[in-house]
Amino acid sequence: MKTYSAKPADIEKKWVTIDAAGLVVGRLASIVAMRLRGKHKASYTPHVDDGDNVIVVNAAKVVFTGRKRDQKVYYHHTGYIGGIKERTVKQIMSGRFPERIVEKAVERMLPRGPLGRVQLGNLRVYPGPEHPHEAQKPEKLDVASMNRKNMRSA
């Protein structure tokens, strides 16, 4: 028996739309990362980009469980001595780019390296309900119905 290894020419990429309104961030990010890597397909090959193109809309309406909205802190360093900065989830969500929460959550679930960067390029995140990718005819993926814990009511 031979192990199947997908070639880049054999891969068929689909376009998938996910409505993130009311979804829990970590659960959404793990499903999106799995789709981007292609692990949901039987033809999954670790060293080839055989994942789908994923469009996430309503990213500004994602939710966190517990008190993470007030207590979870994101850090970044400016590069200068003592230049560590911190922002809470509440500050980021009320700021100019609330979709970065979803982008960073997915990015940190993908492998680091050239392949991970290519796979991250297949992700498009929009804070509102509109997106400019209607020409690709994306199919809807209902993440809320996959597991009752994926959806969080207020």
Residue 5 above 70 pLDDT?
yes
pTM over the 0.75 mark: yes
Q: Which residues contact 28 (CB under 8 A, 6 or more apart)?
A: 18, 20, 56, 62, 102, 105, 143, 150
Q: Work out the average pLDDT over 101-124.
A: 97
Over residues 16-51, the pLDDT tens digits come to 999 999 999 999 999 999 999 999 999 999 999 999
> Taking 80 as the threshold, does the pLDDT of residue 153 lie above it?
no
